Chain A
Amino acid sequence: MTIAPERPTLPATATLIQQFELGLDAPICLTWELTYACNLECAHCLSSSGRRDPRELSTQQCEAVIDELQRMQVFYVNIGGGEPTIRPDFWHLVEYAVDHQVGVKFSTNGARITPERARFLAGTGYVDVQISLDGATAEVNDYVRGPGSFDMAITALANLRDAGFTDAKISVVCTRHNIGQLDDFKALADEYGATLRLTRLRPSGRGADVWDELHPLPEQQRVLYDWLMAHGDGVLTGDSFFHLAAFGESLPGLNLCGAGRVVCLIDPIGDVYACPFAIHDEFKAGNLLSDGGFQAVWQQSPLFAELRSPQTGGACSSCTFYDSCRGGCMAAKFFTGLPLDGPDPECVQGYGESLLAGKRSVPASSQDHSKAGPTRNQPVMLTLGKRPPAKDCAESPLAGFTP
């Protein structure tokens, strides 16, 4: 590892965004995926989860990570997976983190949020629960998350509400099929005393396979933007829609790519990536077991130093909206095979569409923990075929046979 170059000193008048672009001493928003194991097989899984990796961090190693986060004053982590509650030591680690001044928000599909667990959670301060739901109806949700997953999430939300847990989060990945359900999601959140969180569909992990089919259409981007503007601070977004800022006014929150600057991801085996949507060798900063701990990786990795160095707008620099959207999401560009210094594939000014239509090569994934064979939880992304069979005999081997 080389030592990162010295951080340039900004004038006192510099904005917070300019400061953030140069990186912080510790992340503000850290995602930690505890396991690649999952009971579901969502079609768009960012981390291609399914099977546990035998190299996953042990309980002791996880505790050491929490100790280090406490020393670095990382005040909270977003725990995910996989399905993190599958780990037998999950609840222990949550308590360990909270006892060490590291607050926890964890994402779950709800499978393990029993009435008993819900009561435990209601009694623990400083733990936030986020239930994933990608459709306001079972039909839309189960299409991508698998059969039964809607009911599972709703049961978890009901258990939390009934136990007196306040302000759970309902986390929705916005797709072509659910943009029309935004009001329904809000109603659902209100019904369960929860807060709605909307995030962007990324072409990461298995998401790369379904992105073309699922990502919102250009006119839906406008619907989403208008809806977000109308609902403002009442809806969380993880600041993930900054590419929509090029429609005009900026959305609330940070309008910049925080990858490696204020955000990063620790994966189940201790690899540190620039952001949760960039699990690929290209964005791997190091490993906290083999590279001297998380702090060393965060502060000294050459990759992060590069991400924190001044960036040029590339092909976008002549666009009048560059200051609003900053070229969009690095991961979205990378996984659709677009140049990193050009427009976002979902650029609302339309510059991404022409690039998507042109020649590009989508990078191969560098890790895949998907289950090897089909299981009963696998989503069945089938719609009725509209094309007639190519030949009659494709339908029946006896077609055209007259004895």
Chain B
Amino acid sequence: MDTLLGESWTLSPSVALRPEPFGALAYHFGNRKLTFLKRPELVAVVRALGSSPDVGAALATAGIPAAQYPAYCAALRGLAAADMIRPLAPAEAVA
């Protein structure tokens, strides 16, 4: 069980998502990095993060099969490394 699943994350405030046929383009206005979310499902997960208590709930909301959770956790870690998504401090987390 990935520890990430129990953590609260959200889209960075300086990031905008632009829908594209393959998924979305994420642009970070702070570091000016452009990242491509290559699947619509990943876009749904990222969008669900902020309104879900934890990553596991966001994956469930987006309808991701449990077998694919490890792949999605890896993708989310990649986005975290580019500051596209950020951990929510406990006080900010959705109850």
**Distance A10 CA – B27 CA, assembled complex (angstroms):** 24
User: For the complex, is A258 an interface residue (Cβ under 8 Å from B)?
Assistant: no
Chain A residues contacting B20 (CB-CB under 8 Å) are 19, 24-25
User: For the complex, is B21 an interface residue (Cβ under 8 Å from A)?
Assistant: yes
Dominant secondary structure at the B interface: strand
Partner of A19, one of B16, B21, B32: B21
User: For the complex, is B82 an interface residue (Cβ under 8 Å from A)?
Assistant: no
Chain A residues contacting B18 (CB-CB under 8 Å) are 25-26, 73, 75
CB of B29 within 8 A of CB of A16, answer no
Across the interface, name the chain B residue whose C-beta is closest to A72: B18
Nearest-CB distance from B74 to chain A (Å)?
A: 16
Partner of A103, one of B19, B29, B36, B39: B29
Interface residue ranges of B1-48 to A (CB < 8 Å): 16, 18-22, 25, 27, 29, 32, 34, 36, 38-39
User: For the complex, is A126 an interface residue (Cβ under 8 Å from B)?
Assistant: yes
User: For the complex, is A7 an interface residue (Cβ under 8 Å from B)?
Assistant: yes
CB of A28 within 8 A of CB of B34, answer yes
Q: A75-B16, A75-B27, A101-B16 are in contact. Are A16 and B22 (CB under 8 A)?
A: yes
Across the interface, name the chain B residue whose C-beta is closest to A14: B22
**Distance A19 CA – B16 CA, assembled complex (angstroms):** 20
Most buried by B among A12, A16, A26, A73: A73
**Distance A101 CA – B32 CA, assembled complex (angstroms):** 12
User: For the complex, is A330 an interface residue (Cβ under 8 Å from B)?
Assistant: no
By size class, the interface of chain A is: 10 to 19
Tally of A-B Cβ pairs under 8 angstroms: 37
Dominant secondary structure at the A interface: loop
User: For the complex, is A76 an interface residue (Cβ under 8 Å from B)?
Assistant: yes
User: For the complex, is A22 an interface residue (Cβ under 8 Å from B)?
Assistant: yes
Q: A12-B39, A16-B38, A103-B32 are in contact. Are A28 and B25 (CB under 8 A)?
A: yes
Chain B residues contacting A10 (CB-CB under 8 Å) are 22
Interface residue ranges of A368-383 to B (CB < 8 Å): none
Interface residue ranges of B36-63 to A (CB < 8 Å): 36, 38-39
CB of A25 within 8 A of CB of B32, answer no
Across the interface, name the chain A residue whose C-beta is closest to B17: A73
**Distance A126 CA – B28 CA, assembled complex (angstroms):** 11
Most buried by B among A28, A75, A76: A75
Chain B residues contacting A19 (CB-CB under 8 Å) are 20-22, 38
Nearest-CB distance from B91 to chain A (Å)?
A: 28
CB of B16 within 8 A of CB of A16, answer no
Nearest-CB distance from B38 to chain A (Å)?
A: 6
Chain B residues contacting A26 (CB-CB under 8 Å) are 18
Chain A residues contacting B22 (CB-CB under 8 Å) are 10, 14, 16, 19
**Distance A126 CA – B14 CA, assembled complex (angstroms):** 12
Q: A16-B36, A28-B34, A101-B16 are in contact. Are A7 and B21 (CB under 8 A)?
A: yes
Nearest-CB distance from A266 to chain B (Å)?
A: 19
Most buried by A among B22, B27, B34, B39: B22
Nearest-CB distance from A179 to chain B (Å)?
A: 29
**Distance A101 CA – B16 CA, assembled complex (angstroms):** 10
15 of the cross-chain contacts (CB-CB < 8 Å) are A7-B21, A10-B22, A12-B39, A19-B20, A19-B21, A19-B22, A22-B21, A24-B20, A26-B18, A28-B34, A73-B16, A73-B18, A75-B34, A103-B29, A103-B32
- By a beta-carbon cutoff of 8 Å, the part of chain B in contact with chain A is 16, 18-22, 25, 27, 29, 32, 34, 36, 38-39
Nearest 5 pairs between A and B by C-beta? A73-B18, A75-B27, A19-B22, A24-B20, A25-B20
Given contacts A12-B39, A19-B21, A126-B29, 4 further A-B contacts (CB under 8 A): A22-B21, A24-B21, A26-B18, A75-B27
